[in-house]
Structure 1
């Protein structure tokens, strides 16, 4: 980014960083919040009222860092394929479990605990230590940092395992898939399929193998650390209290986790949870007694005509891994049950246009989008693409508004079924 002033850009950035960090620390001190550090007990998130300053510092430090690097060395850093090997080693060999909480252990002791050669352990751990994952408090000793402690969590291990053993091989073949099937949106025409030497889709292959399916689930669960992704965040993504007494049909609602959370908070809502029979089997037994009268489960295939009438249809993270053909089919399948004024809420990532959000967050979203393409041939759509899909599905789908809560990974497209339209089919 070039500056229009006569002040050199690196000086502008340094001043911005200094000013923003000072303001950030003032806010943290006033609230009694510890300053960020890599110590084991450092808080995961900063307070919400510091988000703007956080954005400013992260974007400015990233730009300054990359401006000061030599171009080829920066390209090498962007292409660092070995990073995944070091990070996967933590998960695969149980390094994080071997290191005591608030203690330390030698490279040699870790080698004995994991059955590895000490030089391998030292190489792998010092590689990730250069990224503040673990640290060496004294020569030859290993201790946790804030980052490395997360590798103790089973779903983080699964997330890393999926990325290394499923996602990375798929990413390396993504361009091969694009070259082989340049116009295809089929789920089995992917880097994942090529990496697995199979004509099956990623979902078919992953769900057929328990260990691989668990890594996939861990990857999904790990995203709960992103604001807006977790089931517990759904209540904040839409103004549920504003719809009054209503029946909400959660299409693809799994085992009713979201329905239970919303029912607990909004007593005026009743829920019908729809998913495949094998998914919802036995789910009713897990519903709290005081919610059972307001949560019902019914078997449903996403591509079959909807027969259940409701005031609101919630489709959350249904379309991300699906191509346009399948997305249109799912949208059209809802039409038979829709009454005038019924709402369809689609909760998905809506891709931002360049420059619309801070650079560090923009990079996150584009990395997620690339992963979805490599593994599933799906994509996170731009708003214009959503509008085009809704128009292609039926003119009576009226996009009323798009709700984008601050920092949320997911947006909510509020769509109203409008039979008064002159374009009614």
Structure 2
């Protein structure tokens, strides 16, 4: 009886919220959602229409639940072990680039482009169509682009992201359970599913550093991060003059801050090759206010700054290592004294340093977030486990992380700016003289 009531409730919600969204789009002469090749890549809902955004999210959350209820436990337990095989083949063979958007092609033409037999091209493409809306075949034997393959054909960054996820992250997921069995509760980043998938005793960072052909797409994957973090509008930059972006990659955050706040001087710290590439990409006119510097955050900080920013850095490291930029630990023969790292960086006496942690690594309890956000959080949490034995952190874990690092740190709290995925987590140094 309960299940019957739930499926009716879900179907009614889907119908009502879908109608609300369709009416809103129609009244503004906005296109209805489509997967045709000329469709918009995102649904054009104006920011001020919060009720329509909520309606869309409600439908997105309700549809999978209704589908699962109608499928039933027995069928749900069947693993789709061929799920992304065709997508990976399409990308590897560049079938999405075998003909232009707006044109059509045939399996024979795709065969000539890829070198595969016509039979195998047909099998791959039809699997991709039915499972992932890759391509369309409205007329038998005539292949056209869908919205998805049109987007891939026109965006190297989107294409690169999908390739990295399938070629690097997916194999790590397959080996994650093996790694957990071999190294129970390990916090080492070279004892992971990714390490096993590469038959290596090295970490993800070291593996990609030694293989530039793989490291370059991986670097582009993370440099394309455009996730809203609310950093510009929700931190008192007007009261600051200097910022050190530790692990700042190619400097996207520092560049945005420097462009918005002309009085700010920003330092970007990362590994040698990364900062060299970032400096080469730096927009003209910022050379004197965005400075790139090679730095390992497991060594003493040398830059004097008002703010030390770690954006999506700590979720790359287990607790054992995440406290090290602050902790007093002699592990590995390195000096991790927090005064040496922050306070002695130009603030030797009563200096108050406020490292602002801007990171997708923070999230609230499941009961306090939307289901879609909860799914994203949990997926990324397990993703960090399979890649690095690292973790996403819930809000209650941050105070303990600072306490573990050193009692001289005061946890200031965390907040999630409106519309942002990431949280701003803050602490300052009030340690002993």
TM superposition score normalised by structure 2: 0.87
Match of 1:295 in 2: 290
* C-alpha distance in 2 between matches for 1:289 and 1:192: 38
Is 1:122 the counterpart of 2:122? The answer is yes
Q: Secondary structure at the match of 1:313?
A: strand
Flag the 1:355–1:32 CA change in 2: closer, same or farther, 3 A: farther
Is 1:99 the counterpart of 2:66? The answer is no
CA drift of 1:282 comes to 6.9
Q: Is the 8 A contact 1:201 1:376 kept in 2?
A: yes
Q: Secondary structure at the match of 2:84?
A: helix
* C-alpha distance in 2 between matches for 1:288 and 1:164: 32
Superposition pairs of residues 20-419 of structure 1, within 5 angstroms = 20-46=17-43, 47=45, 48=47, 49=49, 50-76=52-78, 79-130=79-130, 131-152=132-153, 153-221=155-223, 223-224=225-226, 227-228=227-228, 235-236=231-232, 238-241=233-236, 243-281=238-276, 283-284=278-279, 286-332=281-327, 333=336, 335-336=339-340, 337-338=342-343, 339=347, 340-349=351-360, 350-419=362-431
Flag the 1:309–1:13 CA change in 2: closer, same or farther, 3 A: same
Q: Is the 8 A contact 2:223 2:249 kept in 1?
A: no
CA drift of 1:108 comes to 1.3
Flag the 1:222–1:74 CA change in 2: closer, same or farther, 3 A: farther
Gapped regions of structure 2 (runs ≥ 5): 328-335
Flag the 1:286–1:207 CA change in 2: closer, same or farther, 3 A: closer
Moved over 6 A (4+): none
Flag the 1:190–1:13 CA change in 2: closer, same or farther, 3 A: same
* C-alpha distance in 2 between matches for 1:235 and 1:104: 45
Q: Is the 8 A contact 1:90 1:151 kept in 2?
A: no
Flag the 1:134–1:222 CA change in 2: closer, same or farther, 3 A: farther
Q: Is the 8 A contact 1:244 1:268 kept in 2?
A: no
CA drift of 1:114 comes to 0.8
Flag the 1:64–1:326 CA change in 2: closer, same or farther, 3 A: same
Flag the 1:206–1:272 CA change in 2: closer, same or farther, 3 A: closer
Match of 2:15 in 1: 18
CA drift of 1:117 comes to 0.9
Q: Secondary structure at the match of 1:308?
A: coil
Q: Which moved more, 1:153-162 or 1:363-372?
A: 153-162
Give RMSD over aligned pairs. Answer: 2.5
Flag the 1:146–1:335 CA change in 2: closer, same or farther, 3 A: farther
For residues 347-377 of structure 1, give each alpha carbon's deviation from its aligned partner in whole angstroms, at most 9, with x where no partner exists: 2221342233232332233222222211211
* C-alpha distance in 2 between matches for 1:64 and 1:165: 32
* C-alpha distance in 2 between matches for 1:9 and 1:377: 38
* C-alpha distance in 2 between matches for 1:218 and 1:346: 22
Q: Is the 8 A contact 2:14 2:63 kept in 1?
A: yes
Q: Secondary structure at the match of 1:331?
A: coil
| Aligned residues between the structures | 409
CA drift of 1:105 comes to 0.7
Flag the 1:264–1:183 CA change in 2: closer, same or farther, 3 A: same
For residues 44-72 of structure 1, give each alpha carbon's deviation from its aligned partner in whole angstroms, at most 9, with x where no partner exists: 33323332112111111111111101322
* C-alpha distance in 2 between matches for 1:218 and 1:92: 18
Gapped regions of structure 1 (runs ≥ 5): none
